[in-house]
Amino acid sequence: VAVIDTGFDSEHPDFAGREITTSTFVPDENSMDLHGHGTHCTGIACGAVDIEGVRYGVAPGTHIYAGKVLSNEGSGAQAWVLDGMTWAANSGCRVLSMSFGSVVFAGQSYDIAYERAAQYARSKGTVIVAAAGNESKRPKEIYYPVNSPADCPSILAVDALYSSLKVADFSNRAINTNGLVDVAAPGVSVYSSWVMPVRNRFVSGTS
């Protein structure tokens, strides 16, 4: 499983003994996560057990590929993301998770560069999932389309649910023709890993 994000705390004690391959595509920054988001998303995808023995995450037996495509401040360039997508596909990763995105407006089409990279990854047998985005305010009937790159036809867009299975108030929705929501999963107060010394924390979002 590849997670391309703000990097990963590869020295995190919850992941001791795991197979971890890291790479960075951010100039002048190594793969270590100094932000936290990437480590949290990696924990959700690849699972672990915390210091109290509490189990979290989905796939604890995976070989983790952590690619840094966002800086320690949490921002990034499209070229870094495209490089990370290609790296994951060429590394033989079966799943690529991308928990980031930029706002898309009603009527706006998907980004062809992301779609081409996604098609290439699919040709290598890699399934890509991406966050639908957190800009909506559903109680106020304010809805945003699925973010880019999750709005690409070859990428699965993931929305967030409360534990009651109700769609989270912040989750974006399918407004544009191609920007469909493909799957929804728990995304409110999700427990996972965080950069040390915090170790673990709860975070909400379509990530």
The verdict on whether 169 is a catalytic residue reads no
The verdict on whether 37 is a catalytic residue reads yes
Is the separation of the CB atoms in 99 and 5 below 8 Å?
yes
Phi, psi of 166 (to 5 degrees): -75, 145
What's the CA gap between 98 and 155, in Å, rounded? 10
The verdict on whether 28 is a catalytic residue reads no
**Cα angle value 171/41/134 (rounded, 5°):** 15
Of 5, 33, 83, 151, catalytic: 5
Of 9, 37, 136, 151, catalytic: 37
63 CB neighbour count, 10 Å cutoff: 15
**Cα angle value 167/173/179 (rounded, 5°):** 140
Of 31, 136, 192, 207, catalytic: 207
Positions marked catalytic: 5, 37, 207
